[in-house]
C-alpha cells in the first residue's frame, strides 16, 4: 500500500453503528463509521473479544476526536484492540512502532532522488505522519514510551485536536483532516521502566502526557474472559476434552502474575503466551513439553523451581530435570 495518494472516503463518517450489537458489550450508545471499506482498513477478526472499558475509551477517540492512550502489560492486546475497533468502523488505521530506530526524518519525510522525464531530480518524499494527518486515518503509535526525544517533540505538535503540523524544510503548514484520529499504546504510564520488564522505555514529559485526553488501562482479563479469548484464537481448545487443560493453563498464568506482583519472580505469562502455549500444545500433544518450549526455557534458572511448583499445583505433574542445582 503506497502513501502517494489520498484515501477516497467521504469527508465525514456516513453510517451509525450500534455499539452493543457490533462489539458485544453492554452499552446504549451509537457511534459513526464509514460505509465503505478501503485497503487501509484492518481485517475483522470475527472471534475477537472486546474489553468494555477499553472499547468505550477507543470509541470516544473515534467519535469525539479524543487523543487516547492505552497502557498495560505486554501481550494484553492493546494495539490489536484499537485495530479491531477501527475494522468494525471501516476506519483506515496505520500502526507505527516507535522503537529507538525511528527518527523525526522517518516520520516527517526526506529528500529522495527520483527519475522524472529521463532526469534524476531531488524531491521531498512525504513521511507517514504528514500523510496520515491529511487523511481520515487512525494513527496508532505502538510502544509510545520507547520513542526518542526528538520524535516525541514532533508528535507533541499534533496532540492538540486542532494541532497543525509545520514542515520547516518545506515551508509548509498542514491542517489535520477532520477524521484524523490519534492513539498510542504503552507498557508504562510515562514514568519509565520501574519493573525491570521494559528496558528501553523512557520517561515521558508530563506536559506531553497532559495532552492525552483519555488514558485507559488494559491489563490481564478475568479467567472466564481470558478463556474466551484463547478459545477464539485456538479453536481446537474449545472441546470438552481440552476444557480443563485450558482452565489450568490460565490458572498457572495467573499464578505467575500474582508472583510477579509480589516480587517473587521477574517474568510473567501474558495472554499472548497462553495462546502460544495452547497452540504448541496442539502441535506437541504434551502439556509439559509445550510448557517448557513456550515459557519455561525463557525463565531465569534461579526462578525455574518456582514455575515448576506452579505447574505441579495446576496439573499435578512433576517435570524432572529442570530448575537450579542445589
Instruction: For residues 71 and 62, give the distance between their C-alpha atoms in angstroms, rounded to a whole number.
Output: 18
Q: Could you say which of 217, 244, 262 is where a domain stops? A: 217
Same domain, 230 and 200: no
pLDDT band for 323, please (50, 70, 90 cuts).
very low
pLDDT surpasses 60 at 200: no
Each residue's pLDDT tens digit, 7-62 = 776 678 989 999 999 999 999 999 999 999 988 999 999 888 899 999 999 999 99
Q: Where are the alpha helices (DSSP H) in 9-93?
A: 19-23, 52-64, 78-89
Q: What is the mean pLDDT of residues 109-132?
A: 81
What value, to the nearest 5°, has the Cα angle with vertex 128 and ends 124 and 133?
105
3-state secondary structure of 246: helix
Same domain, 51 and 180: yes
Give residue 21's domain range.
Answer: 15-217
Q: Which residues pair with 173 in a beta bridge?
A: 166
What pTM value is reported for the model? Answer: 0.81
Instruction: For residues 59 and 136, give the distance between their C-alpha atoms in angstroms, rounded to a whole number.
Output: 15
Instruction: For residues 18 and 170, give the distance between their C-alpha atoms in angstroms, rounded to a whole number.
Output: 43
Same domain, 126 and 262: no
Each residue's pLDDT tens digit, 161-173 = 777 888 877 778 8
Q: What pLDDT does residue 79 have?
A: 92
Each residue's pLDDT tens digit, 83-99 = 999 999 999 999 999 88
Q: What pLDDT does residue 119 have?
A: 82
Same domain, 108 and 160: yes
pLDDT surpasses 50 at 325: no
- Whether 75 is covered by a domain: the verdict is yes
pLDDT surpasses 70 at 191: no
pLDDT surpasses 50 at 324: no
Q: Could you say which of 160, 193, 217 is where a domain stops? A: 217
Domain count, the chain: 2
Q: What pLDDT does residue 60 have?
A: 97
72 versus 291: the higher-pLDDT residue is 291
3-state secondary structure of 214: strand
pLDDT band for 317, please (50, 70, 90 cuts).
very high
Q: What pLDDT does residue 326 have?
A: 38
Half-sphere exposure of 209 (CA within 13 A, CB side): 16
Same domain, 205 and 232: no
Q: What pLDDT does residue 6 have?
A: 67
232 versus 64: the higher-pLDDT residue is 64
- Whether 325 is covered by a domain: the verdict is no
Q: What pLDDT does residue 301 have?
A: 93
Each residue's pLDDT tens digit, 249-306 = 999 999 999 998 888 988 889 888 999 999 999 999 999 999 999 999 999 999 999 9
All cell numbers assigned to 24: 458485544
pLDDT surpasses 70 at 211: yes
**What is the share, in percent, of the chain residues with pLDDT greater than 90?**
49
Instruction: For residues 26 and 323, give the distance between their C-alpha atoms in angstroms, rounded to a whole number.
Output: 46
Instruction: For residues 162 and 157, give the distance between their C-alpha atoms in angstroms, rounded to a whole number.
Output: 10
pLDDT band for 189, please (50, 70, 90 cuts).
low
CATH of residue 48's domain is: 3.40.50.300
Q: Which range is least confidently modeled, 20-29, 37-46, 197-206, 231-240? A: 197-206
- Whether 139 is covered by a domain: the verdict is yes
Amino acid at each position: 500500500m503506497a502513501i502517494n495518494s489520498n484515501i477516497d472516503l467521504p469527508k465525514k463518517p456516513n453510517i451509525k453503528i450500534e455499539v452493543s450489537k457490533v462489539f458485544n458489550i453492554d452499552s446504549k450508545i451509537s457511534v459513526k463509521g464509514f460505509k465503505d471499506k478501503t485497503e487501509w482498513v484492518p481485517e475483522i477478526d470475527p472471534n475477537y473479544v472486546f474489553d468494555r472499558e477499553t472499547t468505550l475509551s477507543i470509541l470516544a477517540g473515534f467519535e469525539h476526536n479524543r487523543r487516547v492512550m492505552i497502557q498495560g502489560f505486554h501481550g494484553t492486546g492493546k494495539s490489536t484492540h484499537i485495530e479491531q475497533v477501527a475494522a468494525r468502523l471501516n476506519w483506515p488505521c496505520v500502526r507505527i512502532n516507535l522503537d529507538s530506530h525511528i527518527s523525526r526524518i522517518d516520520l516527517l519525510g526526506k529528500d529522495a532522488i527520483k527519475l522524472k522525464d529521463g532526469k534524476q531530480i531531488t524531491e521531498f518524499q512525504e513521511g507517514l505522519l504528514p500523510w496520515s494527518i491529511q487523511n481520515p486515518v487512525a494513527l496508532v503509535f505502538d510502544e509510545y514510551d520507547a520513542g526518542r526525544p526528538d520524535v516525541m517533540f514532533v508528535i507533541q505538535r499534533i496532540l492538540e485536536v486542532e494541532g497543525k503540523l509545520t514542515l520547516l524544510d518545506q515551508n509548509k503548514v498542514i491542517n489535520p483532516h477532520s477524521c484524523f484520529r490519534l492513539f498510542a499504546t504503552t507498557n508504562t504510564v510515562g514514568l519509565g521502566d520501574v519493573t525491570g520488564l521494559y528496558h528501553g522505555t523512557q520517561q515521558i514529559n508530563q506536559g506531553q502526557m497532559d495532552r492525552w485526553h483519555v488514558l485507559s488501562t488494559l491489563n490481564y482479563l478475568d479467567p472466564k474472559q481470558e478463556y474466551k479469548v484463547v478459545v477464539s484464537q485456538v479453536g481446537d481448545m474449545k472441546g470438552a476434552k481440552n476444557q480443563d487443560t485450558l482452565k489450568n493453563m490460565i490458572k498457572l498464568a495467573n499464578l505467575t502474575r500474582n508472583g510477579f506482583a509480589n516480587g517473587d519472580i521477574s517474568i510473567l505469562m501474558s495472554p499472548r503466551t497462553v495462546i502460544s502455549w495452547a497452540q504448541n500444545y496442539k502441535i506437541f500433544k504434551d502439556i509439559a513439553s509445550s510448557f517448557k518450549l513456550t515459557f519455561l526455557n525463557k525463565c531465569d534458572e534461579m526462578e525455574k523451581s518456582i514455575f515448576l511448583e506452579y505447574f505441579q499445583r495446576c496439573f499435578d505433574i512433576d517435570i524432572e530435570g529442570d530448575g537450579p542445582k542445589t
